[in-house]
A and B are shown apart, each in its own frame.
Chain A
Amino acid sequence: MSHILNYIDVAHRCVKCGDEMQDFNSKISGMSKIEELSQNTTCIHKMHPMSKLITTLVYVVTVISFNRYSITALVPFIFYPVILMSLSETPYKPFFKRLLVALPFSAMAGISNIIFDKEILATIGGISISAGVVSFISIILKTILTVFAVLILMSTTKLTELAFQLTRMKIPSILVLQLTMTYRYISVLLKEASTMFTAYMIRSTDHKGIKFKDMGVFLGQLILRSMDRAERVYCAMKCRGFNGEYNRTCSKRINLKSYVYMIGISSLIIIFRFYNFSMLLGSLWG
């Protein structure tokens, strides 16, 4: 009888482990999804990485340059993510998932605005809207726009290409190589950590996670394995002539289309910064 109970117990733990493993897998799947998307070949994907990077930066800086009570002027900025996502055939769902992670922090900071800024700005249809609510909405809007802009950049541009652009901007190759290697080994290390985690959980009594007292050994083991792996990678690199420099010449020349993209969109962004498109549209209506 105890035999059977043992089996049931182990099976139960395996299921729990499966849940924990799902957690690891889901975290890495978000990154995998974006990696996959960056392999597509739409017109946006074909744009030069530099032009996409610069456009994203201009967009983000412009969006956050609005003061905290701006809402109507920010709304037109929604054209950027909507149009780009349709053109690049990027699905909305994974982005919303990522947004759900980023929103709570902005929301919490924004809620303080509602609490502290009680000055009534406007009364619409009997409901008085305080300045705090306005700035809260503004923060949420900014968060959505900036998060989407970055995710669109990464789902239409491969990190390799982006990293290479950094070397062209005279950023030392040691930094860029290290960045790409970190990226490359994340899935390997996660797999290793996940396997260690499973092995631990199968033999542990509670299922909440690693016991505090075991964290030192657990992480320590993972570090040592990582250092060993780094040794072996270093050997492999030396065997192929690595001498500290990573030489790479440009594979893509920036073409006219990309210039047009970059300058065109950046100009539109700046125009929208100075002219409130919403107001214009609204005044036409009224």
Chain B
Amino acid sequence: MSMISVKDLNVSYPDGTDAIKNISFDLQDGESVALVGANGAGKSTLLLSLVGVIKHKNGTISIDDLELSKKTLNDFRKRIGMVFQNTDDQLFMTSVMDDVAFGPRNYGIIETEVKKIVDETLVSLGIMNLKYRMPHKLSGGEKRSVALACVLAMKPSAILFDEPSSFLDPKARRKMMNSLRDLKCTKLIATHDLDMALEVCERTIVLKNGEICADGKTKDILINELFMDECGLELPLSYQHIK
């Protein structure tokens, strides 16, 4: 039984041009899927449509048979979380604890329960030491971890990632990749970091001009030099030196 189902999705930019054209795909429970494509291919737009931030023109988006609509928006967002590219946009409280607790509190969970959830989440990511720190004082890697914690605290079934390895130094990037691999939920990861996609995701969807031009095993797709070139990409760096 599929987890996330997208059928004939159409999304337009504010000026009317098509951003996403008739996209359909399914994400199975627990899958790690990379979403790659050149700049302007529509990756971020797709992600934002999946969480209902950008309204889609037509088509359906459903998670476990719950279809995304104005009425189901709140429910939907409990099940799908999103980690944004710019962590400063996502950490808007004055303490890490408050940021992580933001989601659960909004959904009316009682405070004692919220405290437990915050502690559990921070421990699971190994960042309990950041609990009382101020988000704007953290390093890039720490911010990313906290942003992930904020989403995990809502106990979603699926998480969307927009460029999770951007702005990270090598060690922080490695830590992020490890965290991604350890996450059990369904993951859709939009990224330019093709090497990370190779390591973390079994499946890859390639977007070009708002359409899916490939959907299959990561190893098969990313190794195809000609194809990658056509889509405005290139081989992952770890494959390039093999030539």
Contact = CB atoms under 8 A, between A and B. Distances in A.
Interface of A: 35, 39, 158-160, 163, 180-181, 183-185, 187-188, 229, 232-233, 235-243, 246-249
Interface in B89-105: 89-90, 92-95, 98, 102-103, 105
A238 B74 CA distance: 9
B161 interface: no
B95 to A, nearest CB: 5
B53 A238 contact: yes
A188 B136 contact: yes
A248 B93 CA distance: 12
B167 interface: no
Of A35, A184, A187, A239, most B-chain CB atoms within 10 Å: A239
Contact of A240 (B95, B108, B150): B150
B106 A160 contact: no
A160 B103 contact: no
A236 B81 contact: no
Contacts of B64: none
B146 to A, nearest CB: 13
A239 B57 CA distance: 20
A236 B99 CA distance: 11
Contact of B134 (A35, A233, A241): A35
B94 A159 contact: yes
Nearest to A192: B88
A188 B106 contact: no
A244 B161 CA distance: 25
A180 B94 contact: yes
Contact of A236 (B90, B95, B154): B90
A236 B143 CA distance: 14
If over half of A's interface residues share one DSSP class (helix, strand or loop), that class is named, otherwise mixed; here it is: helix
Contacts of B89: 229, 232-233, 235-236
A241 B94 contact: no
Interface residues of B, number: 33
A243 B77 CA distance: 13
Contacts of B209: none
Interface of B: 48, 51, 53, 74, 77-78, 81-82, 84, 86, 88-90, 92-95, 98, 102-103, 105-108, 111, 132, 134-137, 150-151, 154
A239 B93 contact: no
Contacts of A163: 94
A236 B106 contact: no
Contacts of B48: 235
B177 to A, nearest CB: 23
A235 B77 CA distance: 11
A241 B103 contact: yes
Given A180-B94, A181-B92, A241-B77, A235 B106 contact: no
Contacts of A238: 53, 77
Nearest to B81: A239
B69 to A, nearest CB: 15
A184 B105 contact: no
B92 A237 contact: yes
Contacts of B136: 184-185, 187-188
B98 A160 contact: yes
A184 to B, nearest CB: 5
